[in-house]
């Protein structure tokens, strides 16, 4: 019998249900064995013959014992939905089926919504251009943060397993090769300042040998003064034939114009503003009197948000540290990640969060971009992101909410907002032509409904 079952949702910790999605019935429920990827369940509601099928399917899951696969399936409506979207050329998740269709060797400035797989696109381009027999750096990818560089490097390592002889090295603070050493890795991933040092101060990288240069989160790399100087200096020394790839979910107009100036004959993939927000991320706000009321609202949300994993964004390190301390004092389990932590502690914290050992991460904009943790089902803006002049930082808002709803999964973004700043929500709605729905976090029934 060909029955189809899939794990339905992640209730708390390791609880899961197995759903017969043809008949919309729960056929088994139980505890997920993290190590083997199996569901140690109570018996289901079906008769004996289906019992066998169910067992068969659970064994099948065990054969694919990657926890990630289970998580991916539990967080989307159905994996089938994503497959359908991947075949739809109008969907941001559209995937081509052949290498030729990827047009890998072109210069490109590309914009695509958060969580739609930009990393795989530029990693493939780098891997396709490397000559594995030549043992020196041939591709450089610049990332704005230490954490993002590590994450991208892991993608290169994973995808690179299929290309014998290709290695990656991390040009990051604290990872300095010894004096006189020669780099054999062909792909260098790092932050701009360190890559610059490796190119011009330490002469570890011969810039003339670089055939692909990637700027991930290109808009912030161009916009942040130091980053842009470093990136432009590295780029200037590269051969004319070097392929340039600039990727981001957001490009302000001025940044876009600059990008077009520095990339020769670029192919351009540009989105309209109203295409930037994803339908799979529902946006809400709760209006509060003051910081204390925002804190109460967050505590009420907390009961809901620990179901999966959550990121809470604050505007400053000071507020993030106050908030995480207050939550801990009140008995909640939260982790703090802000720029004042040493980079290796930050990387360690992201790893704990990625592995599900931390459920709620309180952080600043240091985590707003690129970080990909697929189990994140809710993002909370404890403060809305603002520029130094106090205006709304639309780009950061978009990147922050994009930490949930990765690759077609469902996500929720809640902004807690003091009365005086409610006008900012209207600005965000107008800017992205999107809807941010009011909710009342004091009403647990309403919250429960939203979650479902
Ligand atoms: N073709 C694919 N099929 C299934 N999953 C994919 C595919 N391509 C990428 N993914 C997954 O989608 C998730 C998001 O990808 P990625 O981090 O590259 O997004 P992004 O577009 O760079 O997002 P951001 O703008 O937030 O940096 C990752 O977990 C990745 O493994």
Q: pLDDT by residue (tens digit) across 308-318?
A: 799 999 999 99
State residue 238's pLDDT score: 84
Cα 295 to ligand 1 centre (Å): 32
- What CA–CA distance (Å, rounded) separates 258 from 321? 37
For residue 17, the cross-strand partners are 29
Provide the percentage of residues in the chain whose pLDDT is more than 90: 55
pLDDT of residue 256: 87
Q: Residues enclosing ligand 1, CB less than 6 A?
A: 95, 112, 114-120, 249, 370, 372, 374, 402, 406-407
Distance CA 443, CA 76 (A): 26
| DSSP string computed for 112-143 | --TTS-HHHHHHHHHHHH--TTS-S--EEEE-
Distance separating alpha carbons of residues 442 and 452, to the nearest angstrom:
17
Least confident window among 66-70, 99-103, 213-217, 369-373 = 66-70
Tell me what pLDDT residue 25 has.
54
- Give me the residues paired with residue 213 across strands: 140, 244
Q: What pLDDT does residue 221 have?
A: 84
Kindly report, residue by residue over 372-427, the tens digit of the pLDDT. 999 999 999 999 999 999 999 999 999 999 999 999 898 999 999 999 999 999 99
Q: What's residue 30's pLDDT? A: 60
- Average pLDDT of the residues in 340-357: 93
* Cβ contact 126:216 at 8 Å: no
Smallest CA-to-CA distance from 156 within 115, 129, 119 is with: 119
Predicted local distance difference test score (pLDDT) of residue 306 = 57
pLDDT per residue as tens digits for the range 272-326: 888 898 889 999 999 999 999 999 999 888 776 656 799 999 999 999 999 999 9
Q: Which of 122, 151, 216, 372 to mutate to test the pocket of ligand 1 (most atoms within 8 A of CB)?
A: 372
Task: Find the 111 Cα to ligand 1 centroid distance in Å.
Answer: 13
pLDDT at 17: 53
What is the pLDDT, as a whole number, of residue 273? 85
At 150 the three-state DSSP class reads helix
Q: What is the pLDDT of residue 48?
A: 36
Q: Which residue has the higher pLDDT, 247 or 1?
A: 247
Residues in the chain: 452
Give, using CA atoms, the residue closest to atom 15 of ligand 1.
117
* CA dihedral angle for residue 2, residue 82, residue 409, residue 1, rounded to 10 degrees: 0
- Residue of minimum CA distance from atom 30 in ligand 1: 117
Specify the higher pLDDT residue, 120 or 448.
120
Q: Is the pLDDT of residue 75 over 80?
A: no
pLDDT above 70 covers a percentage of the chain that reads 79
Q: What is the pTM (predicted TM-score) of this model?
A: 0.79
* More reliable by pLDDT, 104 or 407: 407
| Residue-averaged pLDDT of the chain | 82
pLDDT for 203: 92
Confidence band for 451, pLDDT divided at 50, 70 and 90: low
Q: What is the pLDDT of residue 98?
A: 73
pLDDT category, 58, cuts 50, 70, 90? very low
- Band (pLDDT 50/70/90 cuts) for residue 449 is confident
Predicted confidence (pLDDT) per residue in 174-194, tens digit: 898 987 889 999 999 999 999
Kindly state the average pLDDT of the residues 344-350: 93
Q: Which residue has the higher pLDDT, 60 or 331?
A: 331
Which is more confidently placed, 32 or 80? 80
Q: Distance from the CA of 156 to the center of ligand 1, in angstroms?
A: 13
Strand-pairing partners, residue 141, are 189, 214
pLDDT of res. 35: 40
Q: What pLDDT, in 10s, does the model give residues 196-206?
A: 999 989 999 99
Q: How far apart (Å, rounded) are the C-alpha atoms in residues 181 and 103?
A: 36
Radius of gyration of the chain (CA): 23
Closest among 380, 205, 355, 366 to 285, alpha carbons compared: 380
For residues 102 and 414, the model is more confident at: 414
Output the pLDDT for position 225: 66
Instruction: List Cα–Cα distances, 98 to 103, 109, 353, in angstroms.
Output: 10, 21, 35
Report the C-alpha gap between 367 and 363 in whole angstroms: 7
For residue 40, the SS3 value is: strand
- Distance (Å, whole) CA 68 – CA 150: 19
The number of the ligand 1 atom at minimal distance from the alpha carbon of 399 is 26
Helix (H, G, I), strand (E, B) or coil at 183: coil
Residues 6+ apart with CB under 8 A from 36: 62, 65
Read off the DSSP letter of residue 260: H
Which residue among 87, 112, 115 has the greatest number of ligand 1 atoms within 8 angstroms of its CB, and so is best to mutate?
115
């Amino acid at each position: 019998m060909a029955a189809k079952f899939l794990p339905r949702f992640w209730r708390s910790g390791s609880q899961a249900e197995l759903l017969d999605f043809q008949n919309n019935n729960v056929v088994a429920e139980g505890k997920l064995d993290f190590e083997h990827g199996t569901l140690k369940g109570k018996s289901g509601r079906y008769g004996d013959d289906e019992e066998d099928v169910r067992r068969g399917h659970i064994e099948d899951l065990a054969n694919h014992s990657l926890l990630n696969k289970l998580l991916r399936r539990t967080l989307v409506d159905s994996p089938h939905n994503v497959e359908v979207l991947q075949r739809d050329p109008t969907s941001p998740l559209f995937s081509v089926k052949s290498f030729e269709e990827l047009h890998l060797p072109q210069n490109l400035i590309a914009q695509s919504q958060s969580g739609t797989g930009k990393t795989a696109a530029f990693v493939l381009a780098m891997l396709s251009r490397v000559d594995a027999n030549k043992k020196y750096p041939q591709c450089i990818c610049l990332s704005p943060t230490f954490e993002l560089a590590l994450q991208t490097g892991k993608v290169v390592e994973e995808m690179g397993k299929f290309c014998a002889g290709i290695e990656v090295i991390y040009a990051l603070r604290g990872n300095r090769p010894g004096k006189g050493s020669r780099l054999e890795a062909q792909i260098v991933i790092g932050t701009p300042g360190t890559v610059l040092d490796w190119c011009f101060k330490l002469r570890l990288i011969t810039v003339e040998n670089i055939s692909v240069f990637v700027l991930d989160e290109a808009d912030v790399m161009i916009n942040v003064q130091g980053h842009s100087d470093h990136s432009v200096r590295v780029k200037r020394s590269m051969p004319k034939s070097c392929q340039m790839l600039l990727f981001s979910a957001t490009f302000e107009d001025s940044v876009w114009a600059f990008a077009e100036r520095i990339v020769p004959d670029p192919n351009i993939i540009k989105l309209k503003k109203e295409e930037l927000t994803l339908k799979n991320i529902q946006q809400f706000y709760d209006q509060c009197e003051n910081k204390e009321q925002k804190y109460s609202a967050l505590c009420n949300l907390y009961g809901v948000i620990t179901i999966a994993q959550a990121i809470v964004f604050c505007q400053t390190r000071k507020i993030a540290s106050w908030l995480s301390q207050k939550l801990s004092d009140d008995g909640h389990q939260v982790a703090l990640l802000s720029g004042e932590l040493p980079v290796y502690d930050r990387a360690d914290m992201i790893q704990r969060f990625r592995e599900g050992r931390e459920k709620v991460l309180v952080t600043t904009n240091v985590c707003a971009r690129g970080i990909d943790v697929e189990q994140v089902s809710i993002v909370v803006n404890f403060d809305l992101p603002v520029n130094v002049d106090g205006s709304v930082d639309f780009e950061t808002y978009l990147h922050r909410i994009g930490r949930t709803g990765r690759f077609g999964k469902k996500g929720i973004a809640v902004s807690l907002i003091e009365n005086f700043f409610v006008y900012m929500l209207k600005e965000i709605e107008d800017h992205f032509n999107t809807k941010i729905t009011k909710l009342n976090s004091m009403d647990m029934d309403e919250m429960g409904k939203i979650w479902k």
